[in-house]
Structure 1
Amino acid sequence: MSKTFIFDAHLDLSMNAIEWNRDLSRPLDEIRQREMHLKDKPDRGKGTVCLPELRKGGIGLVVATQLSRFTPPGSSLPGWHSPQQAWAMTQGQLAWYKEMEAMGEMTQVKDLEGLEAHLDLWNDAAIPDETKPVGYILSLEGADSFVDISYLHKAYDYGLRAVGLSHFGPGRYAPGTKMEGPLTSAGIALLKEMEKLNLILDVTHLTDEGFYQAMDNYSGPVWASHCNTRKIVPTQRQLTDDQIKRLIERGAVIGGMLDCWAMDIRFIDTVSDPWQLNIKLENLVDHWDHICQIAGNSLHVGIGSDLDGIFGREQSPWDLNSIADLQKYEGILSRRGYTAADIDNLFHKNWLRFLRKAWA
């Protein structure tokens, strides 16, 4: 390969395709052009992710989400008014992934055999990257759409391999970001069922109390797909040093995210400007550095960019135009003293080692 292979552990591709009405099989300039006059969302015309840009950046494997929240009465958050509606939305998102597979744009990876076959394809220099399908591992961000625990088995059967119990606000299985409190009784029961299926638990978005409960009640594989450090950005959404240590003890990998407010405490959504605050790709390296210092090595960090996760260039590092710019980290990390082996760990090897162990 002409560029270093990248594994991105968190992208909301189907949400962008279905709810933002983006044809992600098309070039990025075309997607932006079609949104030029739309005003319904603050990131219109500012998207950074599409399948051609993933290929351009050598991002051949991603963790791609289904995302659909149930909103209880009294909540101001957008979402569906019943778990059944939320489930139906996840099925629409699943249908989009299947359409991308039918077009040869993507391929689902759900076991070790499929993982190795996909890596062999992307390592074949005789095949141009722009013709290769982007591999995806299916994850559910927030478990609200499981009407009951039997729906976990339905999802496993169609290839779901990772689950986060919560997202923002209240949740049927666990409260999430900007909340406090423990997992619900249904959440504890869901963890037990997930363990039987050897699903990956994503601790991203859990409350502090929920994080420790989940770590104590789940013995299966655990990762944090898109989290930064609370030492640098002291908000509940980020991981404390103690949480990082607990994750390292469990062999977890922590994916660094590129949402500006998660990189720099000065940034305020819909108010701040990344260029004026000089928030660059390099800001994330400070978070990776902190985790590496705690671990004593580079074996527990990776990329979980969350790009276009309900934001676009207006809330991304100013020196990033598209997700293909993740390749810039090779030079940035090298200048910061990371070795070629460290960079390989961060770009893909840590996630791949995690999956090979989890799926062995």
Structure 2
Amino acid sequence: MFTIDAHLDLSMNALEWNRDLTQPVATINAREQGQNDKPDRGKATVSLPSLREGDVGLVVATQIARYVAPDNPLPGWHSPAQAWAQTQGQLAWYKAMEDAGEMVQIRDLDGLEKHLSLWKCDLPNEDKPIGYILSLEGADSIVDLSYLEKAYDYGLRALGPAHYGPGRYAQGTDATGFMGKKGQELLKEMERLNIVLDATHLCDDSFWEAMEHFNGHVWASHNNCRALVDHNRQFSDEQIKALIERGAVIGGALDAWMMVSGWVRGKSTPLETGCNLEILLDHLDHICQLAGNADHIGIGTDLDGAFGKEQCPYDLETISDLQKIPKLLGKRGYSNIDIEKVMYGNWLRFLRKAWS
């Protein structure tokens, strides 16, 4: 079944992890044997061939570069200009993939419909480019608001104002506080340019402020439920209800610590915690119960978000195993129509409305 993944950090993996994503996952992992500079070395689950194998023909792909103040212990760049430059390197990689015929950027309704037609045709998947919608995870690299229009002009269509910790425009996971005037001005410019607000990673204060000040289209590319895993990274039921009211789609994430309670990084394992794809469905089910339908759930795996097999469902070897989800949904009583909504339909409906 054609599938949309609303959150992958492809360029980060290509440049910071030095992975050649045109290669099969097995080849990437074989080359990383013996390396230990990253916790997921040799445990990758994502590459462009694995996306094609799993019929994941369209993704929301990120740029990401954090600015850190002198008192911020998180990794990141020491000035917004350096963060901007990092995102431009990431953009250059996407453009190189386009030049090679590996990927194609989707930035409007016409491009979306053409890409869908291509993926419906009889060509083998290996001859089809992966479509990508460009998103910015954390707004720190937007040096000033004039840079947002520059980013829109090269294809940026979604933006999450914060990532982890304090940000220049909003406060993110594990931080507290409001967006303030600067963040509100960012939201206003996003609304003018019709850039989707990605509510993922906003701390509670900044989330509610964004909901109050932003009147454009909102989604949550990769977020699970606080009622099932009690952490500020997850959405509370009240936040989920607010997103539903705004017509948002929420992408279920496959990072194990967001899926099961009590995860200890570096110690817990997916098998011992019972973390499998069924757990993702528990989170999606919870959102459906709050909504009263299956119109607000999708997939946003984050499978290459600085973790690999050591911290994702044990019944998933590569991202191609997303094709196990339709059968699992069917066993839970989801209709074929609702299964299609989860795998791609809800994201398409959202995009068609936002770009009409």
TM-score by length of structure 1 reads 0.98
Q: CA deviation at 1:276?
A: 1.4
Q: Note if 1:19 corresponds to 2:16.
A: yes
Partner of residue 160 from structure 1, selected from 153, 156, 163: 156
CA distance, structure 2, for counterparts of residue 206 and residue 270 of structure 1: 25
Q: CA deviation at 1:257?
A: 0.1
Q: Which residue of 1 aligns with 2:63?
A: 66
Q: CA deviation at 1:71?
A: 0.9
1:38-90 C-alpha deviation (Å, 9 max, x unpaired): 11011000010000000000000000000000011111110000001000000
Q: Which residue of 1 aligns with 2:90?
A: 93
Q: Note if 1:252 corresponds to 2:248.
A: yes
Instruction: Say which is worse superposed, 335-344 or 134-143, in terms of deviation.
Output: 335-344
Q: Note if 1:53 corresponds to 2:50.
A: yes
Q: Which residue of 2 aligns with 1:214?
A: 210
Q: Which residue of 2 aligns with 1:184?
A: 180
Q: CA deviation at 1:267?
A: 1.4
Q: CA deviation at 1:283?
A: 0.4
CA distance, structure 2, for counterparts of residue 276 and residue 250 of structure 1: 38
CA distance, structure 2, for counterparts of residue 61 and residue 280 of structure 1: 24
Contact 1:83 1:146 in 2 (8 A): yes
Q: CA deviation at 1:185?
A: 2.0
Q: How does 1:296-335 map to 2 (within 5 A)?
A: 296-335=292-331
1:142-195 C-alpha deviation (Å, 9 max, x unpaired): 000001110001100000000000000110001100011111321111001111
1:182-226 C-alpha deviation (Å, 9 max, x unpaired): 113211110011110011000000011111110110000000000
Q: Which residue of 2 aligns with 1:130?
A: 126
1:240-265 C-alpha deviation (Å, 9 max, x unpaired): 11111111111100000000011001
Partner of residue 146 from structure 1, selected from 136, 139, 142: 142
Q: How does 1:204-353 map to 2 (within 5 A)?
A: 204-353=200-349
CA distance, structure 1, for counterparts of residue 107 and residue 341 of structure 2: 22
Aligned sequence identity (%): 61
1:292-335 C-alpha deviation (Å, 9 max, x unpaired): 01111000000000001010000001111000000000111111
CA distance, structure 1, for counterparts of residue 237 and residue 150 of structure 2: 36
Q: Which residue of 1 aligns with 2:77?
A: 80
RMSD over aligned Cα atoms? 0.6
CA distance, structure 1, for counterparts of residue 264 and residue 297 of structure 2: 26
Instruction: Say which is worse superposed, 241-250 or 88-97, in terms of deviation.
Output: 241-250
> Alignment partner of 1:282: what SS?
helix
CA distance, structure 1, for counterparts of residue 180 and residue 137 of structure 2: 17
Structure 1 residue runs of 4+, over 3 Å off?
none
CA distance, structure 1, for counterparts of residue 194 and residue 275 of structure 2: 38
Instruction: Say which is worse superposed, 157-166 or 267-276, in terms of deviation.
Output: 267-276
1:113-146 C-alpha deviation (Å, 9 max, x unpaired): 000000000011x211111000000000000000
Structure 1 unaligned spans of 5+: none
Matched residue type, 1:255: G
Contact 1:172 1:184 in 2 (8 A): no
Partner of residue 195 from structure 1, selected from 180, 186, 191: 191
Matched residue type, 2:222: H
The number of equivalent residue pairs is 356
Instruction: Say which is worse superposed, 47-56 or 276-285, in terms of deviation.
Output: 276-285
Matched residue type, 2:83: A
CA distance, structure 2, for counterparts of residue 289 and residue 27 of structure 1: 33
